[in-house]
């Protein structure tokens, strides 16, 4: 069955397609008689007309589509962000294309390519290491872009992020007050700037104090195994130790290690994790964690993008939100 077009409406209603278009778009400027309007609306209804946005997009050069590129939509953090972005985008009349790039610059480039072929009006992206080329290409083609969660070292793009350095500094400070013998930072062996900030904040503060600090850095592909292995090698229960897991995945891997090895929190070791996830609430001790303001990040990212798309703001800004330290009983 061929789907009805405005041509069909025009034919049945005995008017021109132009008139149909005017009525359907409720343009104020050109007044169409009440009678014709009613007629057209009736016909549209009766033949079950659905506008073809693709034709409209082609004519108008805007698609009302926005693309979202994350590392992995099945990761709690990103699926929560995606959900908020979806709601926000919907409010502004956008539909969301979603793609996961697995920290892989080729996949990232492929997705930007795909989205750009689909004529998205703009993209919200969490850029990966070595994605500069793909991003620069988008910039040359004047695509509105907003970064989320992450940012790029060498390209100044509007985006949203949290105060990674400061929150880590704050966590470290909190731990220092409790006089631990040793602090362990668990993070990724990565070049992603926002994660380096997260690490630096902790490191710098610890250095100043002179407290012994160890770093456990894992690759992104075998997080669980690597965290377990390195905790086995590095965790010395004879010392009073606190661990800072700098992401939800790391936190979950670490907590699981503690469970599996019957290490009690905070009796044997203290800890703080990053991001809020349901999993933390099933751990036998109430896990202290860093909460990111997901809705705010999402809302602002869509707003920044929409501003660019409509050129309300020529140059977007980089907006930093404050993460919140939720203190529960895993530190003692």
Partner DNA sequence: CTGAAAGCGCTTACAG
Q: Which does 25 bind (CB under 5 to 8 A by kind): DNA, its own copies, none?
A: DNA
Q: Shortest approach of DNA to residue 5 CB, angstroms?
A: 4
Question: Looking only at residues 67 through 126 of this chain, which bind its own copies when binding is defined by CB under 8 A?
Answer: 72-76, 79-80, 82-83, 86-87, 90, 95-100, 113-119
Instruction: Give 278's DSSP letter.
Output: G
d(CA 316, CA 308) in angstroms, rounded, equals 7
Name which of 74, 149, 85, 73 is nearest 111 in CA terms.
Answer: 73
Give me 203's structure tokens. 């490191």
Interface contacts to DNA, rule CB under 7 A: 2-3, 5-7, 14-19, 21-22, 24-25, 27, 30-33, 35-36, 49, 51-52, 55-56, 58-61
In this complex, which beta carbon is closest to its own copies, that of residue 206 or of residue 220? Answer: 220
284 binds its own copies (CB under 8 A): yes
Let me know: does 130 contact 150? Beta carbons within 8 Å.
Answer: no
Cis peptide before 91 (omega within 30 of 0): no
| Beta-ladder partners of 100 | 70
140 binds its own copies (CB under 8 A): yes
Q: What angle do CA 208, 171, 219 make, to 5 degrees?
A: 90
CA distances from 267 to 62, 225, 238, 240, 314 (A): 59, 24, 12, 9, 54
Q: Shortest approach of DNA to residue 284 CB, angstroms?
A: 59
In this complex, which beta carbon is closest to DNA, that of residue 36 or of residue 190? Answer: 36
Q: Shortest approach of DNA to residue 311 CB, angstroms?
A: 16
Q: Which does 116 bind (CB under 5 to 8 A by kind): DNA, its own copies, none?
A: its own copies
d(CA 151, CA 25) in angstroms, rounded, equals 40
In the complex, the residues that contact its own copies under the rule CB under 8 A are: 1, 3, 48, 50-55, 57-58, 63, 65, 72-76, 79-80, 82-83, 86-87, 90, 95-100, 113-119, 137, 140-142, 252, 255-256, 259, 277-284
């Amino acid at each position: 069955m061929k789907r009805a077009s405005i041509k069909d409406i025009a034919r049945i209603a005995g008017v021109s397609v132009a008139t149909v278009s005017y009525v359907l778009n409720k343009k104020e400027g050109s007044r169409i008689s009440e009678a014709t309007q009613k007629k057209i609306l009736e016909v549209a209804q009766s033949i079950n007309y659905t506008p073809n946005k693709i034709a409209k997009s082609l004519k108008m050069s805007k698609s009302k589509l926005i693309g979202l590129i994350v590392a992995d939509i099945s990761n709690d953090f990103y699926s929560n962000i995606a959900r908020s972005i979806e709601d926000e985008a919907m409010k502004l009349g956008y539909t969301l294309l979603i793609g996961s790039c697995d920290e892989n610059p080729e996949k990232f480039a492929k997705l930007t390519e795909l989205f750009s072929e689909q004529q998205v009006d703009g993209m919200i992206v969490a850029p990966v290491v070595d994605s500069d080329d793909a991003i620069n290409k988008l910039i040359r083609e004047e695509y509105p872009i907003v970064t989320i969660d992450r940012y790029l070292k060498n390209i100044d793009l509007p985006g949203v992020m949290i105060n990674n350095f400061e929150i880590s500094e704050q966590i470290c400070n909190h731990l220092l007050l409790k006089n631990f013998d040793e602090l362990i930072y668990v993070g990724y062996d990565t070049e992603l700037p926002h994660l380096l900030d997260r690490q630096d904040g902790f490191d710098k503060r610890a250095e100043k104090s002179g407290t012994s600090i160890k770093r456990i850095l894992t690759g992104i592909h075998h997080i669980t195994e690597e965290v377990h292995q390195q905790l086995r090698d590095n965790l010395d229960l004879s010392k009073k130790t606190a661990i800072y897991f700098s992401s939800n995945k790391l936190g979950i891997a670490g907590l699981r290690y503690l469970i599996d090895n019957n290490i009690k929190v905070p009796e044997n070791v203290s800890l703080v994790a990053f991001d809020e996830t349901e999993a933390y609430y099933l751990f036998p001790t109430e896990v202290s964690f860093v909460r990111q303001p997901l809705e705010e990040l999402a809302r602002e990212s869509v707003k920044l993008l929409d501003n660019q798309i409509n050129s309300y703001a020529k140059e977007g800004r980089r907006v930093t939100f404050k993460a919140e330290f939720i203190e529960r009983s895993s530190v003692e």
